[in-house]
Every structure is written in structure tokens, then in C-alpha cells.
Structure 1
Amino acid sequence: MHAPLSARTPASNDRPLAIEARGLVKKFDGTTAVDGVDLSVPEGAIYGVLGPNGAGKTTTLRMLLGIIDPDEGVRRVFGHERPHDIARLIGYLPEERGLYPSMKAFEAIGFLGALRGMPLAEAKQRGRELLEEHGLGHAADRQIRQLSKGMAQTVQLLGTLVHRPRLVVLDEPFSGLDALNQGKLERMIRALAADGTTVIFSTHVIAHAERLCEGVAIIAGGKVPYAGSVDSARDRIPAQVRLETAAEDGPWRAALPTDARHEGRYWLFSLPESGIEPLLRALIEGDAGILSLSIERAGLHDAFVHIAGEAAARALEEDSPAEQVR
């Protein structure tokens, strides 16, 4: 039995939830693609679904949106168990991009707005305004086939936003974009959240999730071993201390944690549970001669390896090694 969903379950900081799911399961031809997914997305958050290709990210997003129904489990979007009932509050950018190549850019945005219930003339006018706002006013009357890949993807994204949705769901939105357009998209996502819109996106690039997300669901093999804040994921690994001393030996050595190792000029070890202050006193009283000391918090990549395992991390990196460093 899965815990029932309340219509307005508070998040950890008392914000209502835009999305809540419990125990989502989906099978295709007897193969389990998603196996017991739980997640909660507060209103106004930027939330990432992070995992390698084939992990179940797209299937999870489609179940949340009601495009497909789960075989087991329940989900609510703004308190509704039938997301189709509030489709006009949702903007969705699928991984498979598709625009009519003969349409002009502003017409394509207007068409997508009309599909969400906007009057066509109003949607087209709003399309021109959005193109102008995002530096593409010069391309408004160009056909989609005449646009670069990045411009065409921006047009489709603007079509996702034209009806001013409260929830925006983006499936691998950074895929295929160069570094410049990735930066533009990150700024758009931040602006949406600053305006109160909830944004959830799937990605296999850890850097995007780490820079943008308040919370993440880590998914591997159809399961979610972790769903929560990015900070809590990173805190699962103790911070690492890097210490350089003038003295090579002395009574202060006994104060170092048992996992301390000497690499080059530095001692490296996990931050003690008691904090750094007792160690600092022992180093000073023991005449270690502190030359430098830094505390380095674990990154989301290290947290992903710790939570999902090295095999999932390797699969993540193999999906697009060039994108990982952007």
C-alpha cells in the first residue's frame, strides 16, 4: 500500500506541492520501465529528474502529465489526480522536437498556444512579443526550415510558454544545444521560477541540475534511490578537508582523523563530526604550522556516484561526455 496523497501536502518549507507522486510503476510488454517512483515538487521550484538515457525519465514525466497512466501508484498535479483536467496550466516540451517547417516562427508559437486554449490571433501576437523579448524578433516571419537548430528549439520552447503556464515540464531541454544556447535556456528557466512558475526538467548532465535545481530525483534502472534537495544529496558525503602544514611531524599528527592521507604537500581527510575547531586547536597547540586549510563540500556528481552507484555514473557520462564539462 502506498501512502495516500493529500490535496495540499506541504513541502519541507511549508510550500504547497505542484507535483506529488507515490509508487509510480509502468511496464511495457512485461518489462518494468519505472518501478516505484516517489517524488514531491514544491510550487515555484526548479526540479531536476537526473539519470542516464533509458533510466525511465521520460516515462516518469509522461505519467506525471497524464500522457500515459501508471500501472500502479498515484500522482497529483496542483491537487488534481487527472492532469488533463488542468492541461491549460501546464507547458510541456517533449524530447522529440517537432514544428511544421513551413510555418513562420510567430505562427508556430501561436499554433501551440491555440492548442492550449488561447484564441489564435492572441497567441500569434503573444508569439511575436516573446520572440522580441528573447532577441529573435528579426526571425518572427521566417519559416521554421530557415532557422538554425538552436533558434528552432527556442521557438518551440516559447510555444511551450506562450499560454503562461503555472507548471513547465521540459524533457532533456539542453540536448543538442551549444554552450551559448544552453546558457540562454538556463537564464530562461531561472526567470520562470523567479516569476513563480514551477519548472521540472529531465537531464543526463549533472552540471545543469547542480547549477539550477533546488531539488532532484536521481533515477537509475527505473528506480529512484534519492529524491530531495540538492544540498541534502551533497551532504550524504562528508566534506573533505585539505590541510598544508609547515611541520612534517609532531604531536599534532595524533589529532588527524583516521582516514587522513598524505598526498604531496597536503593532508586530505573527511571533516570530523565534531567540526573543524577542535582539530584547529590541536594543530595550533601542537605547533603544526598551518600554511593552508580548506573545506571542500562534495559536488552533486560525487553524490550521484554515492547514491546511484558507479555503473549508473559511467552510463551518465557515456551519454554525452562533451556536455558534462559545459
Structure 2
Amino acid sequence: MRRPPAGVSLVVPTVGRPSLAALVASLGDLAAAPVPVELLTVDGRGRGPAAARNAGWRAARHEWVAFLDDDVIAAPDWLQRLVEDLTVEETVGGVQGRITVPAPAGRRPTDWERLTAGLAGGAWITADMAYRRAALQQVGGFDERFPRAFREDAELAYRIRGAGWRLLRGGRTIVHPVRREGPWVSVRTQRGNADDALLRHLYGPRWRDLLTVPPGRRRAHAAVTAAGVGALALAGAAAVTGRRAVTAGALAAGLAWAAGTARFAAVRILPGPRTPREVATMLVTSAAIPPVAVAAWCRGWLRWRGARPLPVGPAPAAPLPAAGAAALSDVDGVARHSGVPA
């Protein structure tokens, strides 16, 4: 039987971006929502977004918890559509919103813009994802071993589905603008390979299929990195020994590295605007990404040896905090802005 939510808590981890004000403004008057709504903003700069979201939902007063990123904009009818999305059967544990990413006007998107646009097709992304508080309680919430906004939402969704809850896609919409980033953003994002290594330990070689994560380039990056390291090592040996066979091996390895790097750069350059700046950025970062990605994977592999998934408990009755509960203390870094009286 479908029934509307008794109330919704909105949880927004934030790192102090100016965009937070735009998000809050786009939500409109919370007191005018069809059901009781509260907004909780959580300081996400300490232990990462997973820990921040956990602090938020554990402080939530309502039956449903809707997570939003601090750099999105809600559609004018977002609150009304949220209530409609959450009018579902008791077996539904979560409902995802729809994400749109504005395309650049009059030109092809850059590599970073295409990466951000991929959010529109992602599964169970917490840029706009609502969960029953009971489902979050049953699985223990987000796994705080994930320190970045990367994979922690897909991993949570997998555990919630494994606990027997259904997940649906709703009709509400948010806009996710493309953040301004520097030329090295694609290199910095390779730190997420450490989180992929954790998932490999947790769920085995089929973790991408299980968590609905698209294929990556780890094997290609490993091959290119091995060729580059081999070329450098053989070149050093050739300089010492002077042997032609070693020199030929260094040349072959170097050519393999150059070919792999050029292929990777072409995949990133051809769909883009192909401006001199973008092409130069793609060439340099395409050389840097493979070794950085492999190093991050190796660090994660070593760090998370023996890691196991969080335990799943029995479905709780999901008792809610008292209606008169005070806002959380500064220890939790949560600020409560309620559309209904405390």
C-alpha cells in the first residue's frame, strides 16, 4: 500500500561552498511543504561526506532522509515532487532524483565537463537520493572508510538492496552545475582508485557489476605505467652496460608507453573543444594519470587488506527522535533549519 511520507529531513554535507546559499534559496519555504520538512547542514570538511551524512541522518527527526549536495539547485517544484516520489510502498527503501547537468553553449564540453555530465546517468547518487531512516539504521549508514564523495553512495545502495529494500527512480529534478576546476583536476580525482581497491576487497572481482559501476581503465593504466617504468629502468641499465639488446628493449618499452599515452590522450581530446589549452592539458594529464591511478590503487590495496563489508542488522522499528529535540551540538557539526516548530 502506498502512503505519503510522515515527514522528510533534508541533509546537506557542505564544505563551505558559496553555492550552498543558492541551494537553500532554491528549496523555497520549507514551512509551505505538503509534509513537515527540516533542513540539516553538516560540516563535511573533517572526516569526509560519508561521515557527514551519517551525522545528518542520525540527527534526523523524520521517517525519510533526503541527501543533497551543496552545489546543486533544486527545481521550483522539487519539494512537491519529492513528496510524490516518497509516496511508495513500505518495501521501498530509497528513491533517487533526476540530475541534469547544463551543457556548455556553442562548443563541445571539456573533459571535466563530460565527467560531471556523467552524473546524470549515475545510479543511486547522493547528489539527490532519499532513503528511509529505517533502511539506513538497518545497514549502519554510509561506510566511513570512504573518505571522498566517490563510490560511497553506490556501496550504500548495494547494502540496502541486499537487506531486502527496493530502490526506485523518482521524478523530482535538480540541476548540477559544472564546478570551476584547475587543469589538474583529472589527476586529483585518481585518488578514488584507492576506494576502488577497498571495494575489490569487500565484494570481489565482480564488484563493478554488483554495484552498477561502469568499467574503468585500471588495466590499461597499469600496462602503460609498466611500460614507462620498464623503459626508464632499461634505459638506465643500457647507459651502464652499453649492451644493444638492453637499449633495444628500452626503446621498445618507451614506444609502448608513448603509444598507450597517445591513445588515452586521443580518447579525451577528440570529443572535446580541441582548443590549444584543452589539448595541452589533455596531453600532460594523460601522461600523469596512469602512474597516479596505479599508485592510488596500490595504496588502497595494501591499506584495506582483510576489509569486510559492514554488518546488516534486522530491520528496526526506526524510532524517531523526540519532536522537541534540540539542534545538534558543535561536536557533530550539524545545523538544523526547520520548516516546522522544534
Normalised-by-shorter TM-score class:
under 0.3
Question: Higher helix proportion, which one?
Answer: 2
Question: Higher strand proportion, which one?
Answer: 1
Q: Which has the higher contact order (CA 8 A, sep 6+)?
A: 2
